[in-house]
Amino acid sequence: MPKRFSLASMLVVLVAVASSIASPRGQAQSCVGTNIAASIVIASGAIRHVPDIPVTVKGHCIDWTIKTSDYKFPVSPQPDGIAFKAPTLNNDNGQMPAGEFDCKRRSDVLYRCQNKNSKHGTGDLNYEYSVTVVDTKGNLISTPDPWVINK
């Protein structure tokens, strides 16, 4: 006799599959509001300046998208495409909370970080990060200067 599955058990499986698709490296990111879009443009073999990104709410997500063909975000074991720097005197005065940014490579050209903004409302807090991309020959290109500013 064929096994019958309840509607509830099928929904559990569907939610589990959807969650694994939504976040290729584990739990789904729960973004608040409209995601902030940041464009990554490469010209003459260098990443163009990425403007500072102000974030004014908790739980917001930032999507970095590579807009130049023939470049992509690297995959492990290469460096992360978006990597926040360790706390220093210049980088939130050395006080960045652990786990403030949950970053995941979503595709070859999309990286998403959920910003907890856990100190929201305590003044401007500056967090430095780097952007790393790889070209079709496997050359890594990085820029260490952009900032996210939590407000």
What are the residue ranges of helices labelled H in the chain? Answer: 7-22
Q: What is the pLDDT of residues 71-126, one digit of tens each?
A: 999 999 999 999 998 878 777 777 888 889 999 999 999 999 999 999 898 888 89
Bond before 77 cis per omega within 30 degrees: yes
Domains of the chain: 30-150 (2.60.40.420)
pTM of the model: 0.78
Q: What's the burial of 21, exposed, middle or buried (CB within 10 Å: 0-12/13-18/19+)?
A: exposed
SS (H, E, C) 46-104: EECCCCCEEECCCCEEEEEEECCCCEECCCCCCCCCEEECCCCCCCHHHCCCCCCEEEE
Tokens for 2, please give them: 């064929």
Model confidence pLDDT, tens digit, residues 111-141: 999 999 998 988 888 999 999 999 999 999 9
> For residue 8, what pLDDT is reported?
37
pLDDT, residue 81, reads: 96
Confidence of residue 26 (pLDDT cuts 50, 70, 90): very low
Q: Tell me: pLDDT of 27 over 60.
A: no
Specify the residue for token string 């290729």.
Answer: 24
